Chain A
């Protein structure tokens, strides 16, 4: 990556641990297990949403009513990030890149439609379907479902009205969102960007999809590299937004940086073909400029068997002394929010010199706070993404 230095000047993080920097510093520094809900969506465990006081970030009830939980969560976290960066005055020209899934369906309506029609001959069911949907769908639900309406709501609620793009593509959308937001700022398009995504774990309408591909763990909690008994991801409600800024602009307005984004590289291997995931990750790694020697890694591993094994091999193949910590063991799998959340956690680690305790044998003891961090994102189905974060020396801060 060429051009200007880019800093993370604010993070808006919501997970089962709570919200904001303090809750997540505590989660990183301690070994308190992440809250787990093993019952509501059994046999699939999940990390539940924390209680949020929505009025604090979405003051108008009318705005809240226009959204379902996914958009509310993302809009809330976006506001947290703006406050954390002290960047409310920049929103009119701020870039917005959101990694989005789809919004909630009306599950009760779907189930009632299926109860009424599943037994009918297909032609008759199709005709009846029109009537049941036309009478049953709420007009506002469409807007709550549209992927680009998380960005729309962030514009409406927080006034972020620069460039606005919404990326779709599970974990990789989150990585590409950060990559492209960073590249735009580095070449001097704009001075600040708000980038991230949100994910609500407690959703059968998504679990049906993830489970069809065998992506979900069944059973209790285990750290992501210790799931051989029942490989799979544990979905975690997660929202992560980052405020990225041109370092010179940040300094000029007196904003401190948490970490510097020194590079983001994304690849997408055809995993069923000859061009494997490890080779793709190696291509991405070659585009980063990590210093030689021992390497601290903040892994975005999901716990899904294939990509988690590939990541372990890829890291071993670097031939370096690796100290690994897993964001996924601490936050759960947040799909589109995963990569931005890993970067937010990584930025906190660097800014505060946190040395998270080990949660599993793959996590060797950490001798000293990291200065450089390799953040990984091997998507559950597709996508290999890497980022390099670097601590900002005190003398460079305003």
Chain B
């Protein structure tokens, strides 16, 4: 049985998947909702939305919140990442024990948040709340450090799941989840490990983050129509919708997975990346870096463009992204571009999680030979010439999927997911 790819590298299998998104908890609930064309976008209730230009988001309501607890980004990300990892490990038959490989974690940058600053200001009172006073008021409060240190989420997950070595936390903006998978794949390919736990997670739907994206005019403001707000590839698209969630893939060398009799859900056949040097938030209008990232991934997989059956789009629903992705699709695939759909039409843009969530959905598309739809496709945009699987899912022969992730800051990562090799 062949366990190496055309480049002589160990083939990297996926043996477990875990998902948490605004559509629900777990792979089954998410995939059913996605195929049914359900939107997970709703009005924000977690915090007051007065004075905000955007008042909708995809939010995951955690059990703690029902009891009134306020979770800042670090505990929220760690919680959702752990839920996804538990499901994936259980499916892989690796739950319970120490995980036999490293953690590759895609997550957002975190920092002190307003609840912490208000608490510090209370502790500093009656001193005026200058940063110096806040700092002195933080004396002897190590938990504060742990709510905002970049190492905390990885440390928490490593402690919980017993991953080996140093957890790596990566950020490449909206490509983060794909970068985490890529890091795990590479570690297995170069023989550094037999397995890796790859997670993408984000939980930064909070007022300041929402305002920051609003100030960049990146967000949809279709507040009176939450489920219709995310409209990738549609004529009236007006920006993305912030969201949150997590996905986990258990990655193993195919040899390792088969030796222990694990069920193979698919393989990560290739990965490619290319950075853009054009602009901090915009891709080069000629699409060169995005095109190269797609080509690099297909080439790394030992395939040609004609082998790709379906593309899981970056598809954010910003006017610019979707036009550029269309251009790149035509450049890579020519007249015979495969169907492309955007999960973000339903779950919104889960930022650091999206690359991992979309890789998970790509594997499910292969498993069930079903293409998830792009919902909210009411008025076609003449500038988008692709088959975007409008509004309803459909059966198709799905062999190899290209999953696109393009980040702010010009970091573009594409993955090729395939079924179990015969």
Q: Which A residues form the contact surface with B (CB < 8 A)? A: 2, 41, 66, 96, 100-102, 105, 107, 110-111, 114-115, 117-118, 122-123, 125-127, 129-131, 133-134, 137-139, 141-143, 145-149, 151-153, 155-156, 159-170, 172-173, 175-176, 180, 183-184, 187, 189, 204-205, 207-215, 266-268, 270, 273, 379, 381-383, 385
Task: Name the residue on B nearest A171 (C-beta).
Answer: B151
Q: What are the nearest 3 A-B pairs in CB distance?
A: A152-B409, A213-B145, A204-B131
Bound-complex Cα distance A331 to B278 (A): 34
What distance in Å separates the Cβ of B291 from its nearest Cβ neighbour in chain A? 13
Name B409's contact: one of A149, A187, A208 (CB within 8 Å).
A149
Contact A152 B52 (CB under 8 A): no
28 A-B pairs within 8 Å (CB atoms) are namely A100-B109, A107-B131, A110-B117, A118-B125, A118-B129, A130-B207, A133-B208, A134-B51, A148-B407, A148-B408, A149-B408, A151-B409, A152-B280, A155-B275, A155-B277, A155-B410, A160-B277, A168-B169, A169-B150, A170-B151, A205-B131, A208-B131, A209-B145, A211-B135, A211-B138, A212-B145, A268-B165, A383-B151
Distance A162 CA – B279 CA, assembled complex (angstroms): 16
**How many residues in B have their beta carbons less than 8 Å from beta carbons of A?**
82
Contacts of A173 in B (CB 8 A): 150, 169
List chain A residues, Cβ under 8 A from B165: 266-268
Query: Taking CB as reference atom, which chain A residue is nearest B411?
Result: A164
The answer to whether A208 and B135 have CB atoms under 8 Å apart is yes
Distance in Å from the Cβ of A136 to the closest Cβ of chain B? Answer: 9
A208 and B112 in contact, given A110-B117, A164-B411 (Cβ under 8 angstroms)? yes
Cβ–Cβ < 8 Å partners of A166 in chain B:
170-172, 411
Q: Known pairs A129-B207, A143-B408, A165-B179; list 5 more (Cβ under 8 Å).
A: A145-B109, A169-B166, A213-B142, A381-B149, A383-B151
Specify which of B51, B111, B166 is in contact with A385 (CB 8 Å cutoff): B166
User: Could you tell me if A148 and B409 are in contact, using CB atoms closer than 8 angstroms?
Assistant: yes
Contact, CB under 8 Å: A134 / B150: no
User: Complex: how many Å from CA A175 to CA B167?
Assistant: 12
Q: Which residues of B contact A100 (CB under 8 A)?
A: 109, 171
Name the B residues within 8 Å of A107 (CB-CB): 131
CA A145 – CA B122 in complex, angstroms? 26
Asked whether B333 is an interface residue with its Cβ less than 8 Å from the other chain, the reply is no
Give the CA-CA distance A205 to B111 in the complex, in Å. 9
Partner of B183, one of A111, A130, A170, A180: A180
A149 to B142, CA, bound (A): 28
User: Please, how many angstroms separate the alpha-carbon atoms of A127 and B207 in the complex?
Assistant: 10
Tell me if A187 and B190 are in contact (CB < 8 A): yes
B109 and A168 contacting across the interface, CB-CB below 8 Å: yes
Most chain A Cβ neighbours within 10 Å, of B158, B168, B173, B213: B168
- Determine whether the beta carbon of B49 is less than 8 Å from that of A164: no
| CB pair B131 A210 closer than 8 Å | no
Q: Indicate with 1 or 0, residue by residue over B147-159, a CB within 8 angstroms of chain A CB atoms.
A: 0111100110011
B76 beta carbon closer than 8 Å to chain A: no
Confirm or deny: B396 has a beta carbon within 8 angstroms of a beta carbon on chain A: no
Q: Are A131 and B408 in contact (CB under 8 A)?
A: no
Q: A53–B352 Cα gap in the complex (Å)?
A: 35
Q: For B274, what are the chain A residues with a Cβ–Cβ distance below 8 Å? A: 161-162
- B132 at interface by CB-CB < 8 Å: yes
| Cβ contacts under 8 Å, B140 to chain A | 212, 214
Question: Which residues of the other chain, A, contact B125 by a CB distance below 8 angstroms?
Answer: 118
- Give complex CA distance A160, B212 in Å: 27
B216 at the interface (CB under 8 A from A): yes
Question: Please, which residues of chain B bring their CB within 8 A of the CB of A149?
Answer: 280, 408-409
Partner of B275, one of A141, A162, A170, A268: A162
Asked whether, in the complex, the Cβ of A172 is within 8 Å of the Cβ of B166, the reply is yes
Whether B166 lies near A267 (C-beta < 8 A) is yes
Select from chain B the residue with minimum beta-carbon distance to A111.
Answer: B130
B66 within 8 A of A: no
Is there an interface contact between B275 and A164, defined as CB atoms closer than 8 Å? yes
CB distance from B409 to the nearest CB of A (A): 3
Alpha-carbon separation in the docked complex, A173 to B167 (Å): 9
Bound-complex Cα distance A385 to B165 (A): 10
Contact A148 B411 (CB under 8 A): yes
